[in-house]
Amino acid sequence: MTKESVPIWEKAALTLEEAAAYTSIGINKLRELTNNPRCEFVIYVGRKRLIKRKNLEKYLSENIEL
């Protein structure tokens, strides 16, 4: 059985590395943004930090600077 990969633009949640590649925003900047307790596009699975792709896209479309 082979494992098929899902394209980044179809995933509901992205790792920091995937989100950085998808948005061209650095991992450190994404980490800084997601450290905010009011961040609406981060979810934690145990200690793993994931980015909700659609919420991140919405955040980026509504803000002109980070």
Q: Is residue 6 part of a domain?
A: no
Token representation of residue 57: 């896209």
Q: Is residue 58 part of a domain?
A: yes
Neighbours of 31 (CB within 10 A): 13
Query: Which pLDDT score, from 0 to 100, does residue 57 have?
Result: 96
Q: What is the pTM of this model?
A: 0.84
Four-CA torsion 36, 53, 13, 9, nearest 10 degrees: -150
Cβ contact 34:49 at 8 Å:
yes
Q: Is residue 57 part of a domain?
A: yes
Q: Which residue has the higher pLDDT, 65 or 38?
A: 38
Per-residue pLDDT band at 56 (split at 50, 70, 90) = very high
Query: Which pLDDT score, from 0 to 100, does residue 1 have?
Result: 59
Count: domains in the chain:
1
